[in-house]
Structure 1
């Protein structure tokens, strides 16, 4: 997912960018309204937009973007910006966060908006790995890799529950259909081993006495 961060405070902007990049988002930055509009394109999936920025304020940037796009836009505001908040919602912002804010809360809001607007994840890119869950294909360094459909379904379930430990039974309950032959829980270990071997996924972490979780590094 590609996110445009528009914020004139260098410390806040750089903190947001570093945090989001650690979580594998592609991040673009702008420090004022003019730069924001010049960097905005149809490839951007979400905008984090401060209201009080130089040259063109955030509300005007919001209005301009809304002329051509309905993508999710999250507004950053000061506590006292009540009129700005009302104007922001009038011009179809998708929410706001008051400064100061927690980066983990910001990420939770971003993840919720992405899920709302883009639905379930159909593509996964991590380091040199590219997965397409629609076509059930995988590439490493741009080269096709033979992979089992169930292996990818296990991976997708972990991805949709990123950061949370999933037991083997929970994985089976959610990945295997009623019409499938239900495997023993230790079969999950085989699928995880194959995913790690074929795709080199160090983001699949073993949680002792529980199961597995996906945690991007």
Structure 2
């Protein structure tokens, strides 16, 4: 799964080889990561800056289980425990203290990514509608409208518009849009396809089409000014 928004994950892991392998792999999937190798580094951290934590159960300066118990006193931030201990009692301990999932080392990076997708899909706030001024997108029916009047957008045009509105004032690479909208068909899509889709979308949006800015050689951005 390639998220339309950029996720940010905190990795608390003292094994630098594992931490950087995870960081490198996740960066290819639009996921930013910050690595800390002990608990003391998190003392002044704003956990609201993150979407999920990958937490090692055994750290040089404390127990990941105790950290999780403390975290759950004020935050429901998703946490996946990483540990070499696969005995039932440790799995039960982690889950009972509020872990959203548990994975033992060594683990497959694609499997870890699948678990992250699963946890985040459960936790992410479900939004049924996106709006910008009088432009509205119904994410359930996949219908866009302006001033209550429906627009005739095909599914690809709707998906591009949805991604732009979810990431207002953020530069979106052409490759990122293509991957999100066309998915597995990305590599078979003609490079001109996105250009044509954007052109049609601008036309159908009328004045709102002016908010879609072309970043030559880079991609596109929705300017909300």
**Shared fold by TM > 0.5?**
yes
Instruction: Find out whether 1:164 has 2:184 as its counterpart.
Output: yes
Q: d(CA) in 1 for partners of 2:76 and 2:197? A: 39
Contact 1:3 1:48 in 2 (8 A): yes
Q: d(CA) in 2 for partners of 1:34 and 1:74? A: 19
- Which secondary structure does the structure 2 equivalent of 1:198 belong to? strand
Structure 1 residue corresponding to 2:114, chosen from 103, 108, 114: 108
Aligned to 1:141: none
Unaligned runs of 5+ in 1: 123-131, 138-147, 167-186, 204-217
1:202/1:98 CA distance change after superposition, 3 Å: farther
Q: d(CA) in 2 for partners of 1:104 and 1:161? A: 21
Q: Deviations over 1:23-61 (max 9, x none)?
A: 222211110122244435212110011101111211011
TM-score by length of 2: 0.59
- Could you say what the CA RMSD is over the residues aligned between the two structures, in angstroms? 3.7
Q: d(CA) in 2 for partners of 1:149 and 1:28? A: 42
Q: d(CA) in 2 for partners of 1:25 and 1:149? A: 33
1:161/1:117 CA distance change after superposition, 3 Å: farther
- Which secondary structure does the structure 1 equivalent of 2:47 belong to? coil
- Which secondary structure does the structure 2 equivalent of 1:165 belong to? helix
Q: d(CA) in 1 for partners of 2:126 and 2:182? A: 12
Structure 1 residue corresponding to 2:100, chosen from 80, 94, 99: 94
Q: d(CA) in 2 for partners of 1:106 and 1:134? A: 34
Instruction: Find out whether 1:198 has 2:214 as its counterpart.
Output: yes
Q: d(CA) in 2 for partners of 1:149 and 1:66? A: 46
Q: d(CA) in 1 for partners of 2:83 and 2:130? A: 37
Aligned to 1:66: 72
Contact 2:82 2:103 in 1 (8 A): yes
Q: d(CA) in 1 for partners of 2:127 and 2:11? A: 22
* Aligned residues between the structures: 165
Unaligned runs of 5+ in 2: 1-6, 137-150, 164-177, 187-192, 202-211, 220-225
Q: d(CA) in 2 for partners of 1:18 and 1:76? A: 17
Contact 2:55 2:64 in 1 (8 A): yes
